[in-house]
Amino acid sequence: MNTPFYKYGAFGDETSLVVAFVIGIGFGFFLERAGFGSARKLVSQFYLNDLAVFKVMFTAIVTAMLGATYLAWMGVLDLSLVYLTPTVLWPQLVGGLVLGIGFVIGGYCPGTSVASVATGRLDGLAFVLGLPVGTLLFAEAFPWIRGFYENGSVGVQTLPGVFDLPYGLVVFAVVLMALGGFAGASWIEKKFQPR
């Protein structure tokens, strides 16, 4: 068995859109289950009252990472066929900071805001309406910021490649970091427990 199925031609573009919808249902379902349709639940991460964002996100990262690594090791999944966005250091650093700033101002991120609208939040709807405005501003500014947008372009880079370490060792380090983070998160939550 060779995967990714789509990359091996198991189905075409039309079917891939059905797959997209079904995978999206799973994504939205677990975002809402975790409480991520709620702005207060999400931003509590940044006030240290409730670190569910970190816990859910890193459990998901570790689950997908271990699954992908295992399937690749079994020869089932060709990791080189999984799309990775190229690394462009400076705009990704600044873009990340801007994303974080928007997160605490707005209370959602683009994915979770969709879950918030689905569960009736009008502030989530306002957030969603803001998204195309920000994109349009970026697009209109693009001719002027294009130089910065491409500043620090180093192509597709993975952490094992950057640090010249075996893939499995980095996977192991991320798992250890996550486990340490989960223990630390429980400790922090107790310390910052709202009364």
Partner 1 sequence: MSPTAQTLNEPWGDGRDATRAVDGAAPAPYMNPYLAGIGLGLVLLAAFVIMGRGLGASGAVNAFVAWVVGSLAPAHAQSNAFLAEYLGDGTTHPLKAWLVFEVLGVFAGALLSGLLAHRVRVSVEKGPRVSAGLRLALAFTGGATMAFGAALARGCTSGQALTGGSMLNAGSWVTMLAIFGGAYALAYFVKWQWR
Taking CB under 8 A as the criterion, which residues in 107-126 touch partner 1? Answer: 107-124, 126
* Smallest distance from partner 1 to CB 26, Å: 4
151 binding partner 1? (CB under 8 A): no
Residues that bind partner 1 (rule: CB under 8 A) add up to a total of: 133
143 binding partner 1? (CB under 8 A): yes
Angle of helix 39-47 versus helix 89-106 axis, rounded to 10: 120
Taking CB under 8 A as the criterion, which residues in 53-82 touch partner 1? Answer: 55-65, 67-68, 71, 76-77, 79, 81-82
23 CB burial (10 A radius; 0-12, 13-18, 19+): exposed
| Element (DSSP H or E) covering residue 82 | none
146 binding partner 1? (CB under 8 A): yes
20 CB burial (10 A radius; 0-12, 13-18, 19+): exposed
Contact pattern for partner 1 over residues 9 through 38, marking x by CB under 8 A: -------xxxxxxxxxxxxxxxxxxxx-xx
